[in-house]
Every structure is written in structure tokens, then in C-alpha cells.
Structure 1
């Protein structure tokens, strides 16, 4: 069974985008859970999560916490 986007030929990805927060530069780094994904545009992905919401956390939380400590 194909998804609707596959059936209609829409440009899309079945992976989930993970948005990582880089606290030092205030920019986001984006990765996709689908290995062969080459275009990480938000519009191509049906699922987008913040790395801080990942089960088990993310290494970004340490970078962000360290940046907050230095700023404060």
C-alpha cells in the first residue's frame, strides 16, 4: 500500500525531520531519520520534531544548557 503522496507523485519524504538547537549561534541544524533523504525542506516532511522532545534526550541539551549558564 502506497501513501497518498506516493500515489499522486508529490515530492515528499517518509522520514522524520529532527530540528537540533545550536545554542551558541542561535541557528537550527536539521537531520532526517531517512538515510537517503537529500532535501531537508520542512514542506517535504509530514513529521517534524524538536530534538529536546526525543525520548532519551539529545546532546544539544548540554550545549544549550552550557550557553545559558555562560550568558547568565
Structure 2
């Protein structure tokens, strides 16, 4: 789970230096609106890609463990 926060932190830090965020600050929007509406939205895109690549790994790992140890679960369905 720490990798999740590291990727989000890095994505938001990169997004804070982008033009749309600077433009939002120049328009006088509150820091909360800038952070949540602009920086976090842009910063989460790489995280969604990473999660999308990790989901098949989790499913495959669950199937493997259930098959090896004969546990009922996803593989039993």
C-alpha cells in the first residue's frame, strides 16, 4: 500500500507545476479547489494505469493460491 501513496504524491507534485493548475491559481480559486479539482485529478491518471496493471496480478495470485492449497474461492466458481 505504501507504493500507492508514493505514486499519488509524485503525480500530484508533478501536476502542481502544470499550466492548468497555475491558471487556476491565477484566476483566484481557493487552494482546496486547485488541489482537489485540478492537481489531484491530473495526478491520479498514472495511478489508475498502475492499478489497472495490478488487478490481473491479484486475480492470478488468488487463483494460484486457491488451486495449490485447495481453498474454495474464485477458482471454485
Give the TM-score of the pair, scaled to structure 2.
0.28
* Bigger proportion of residues as helix: 2
User: Larger radius of gyration, structure 1 or 2?
Assistant: 2
* Bigger proportion of residues as strand: 1
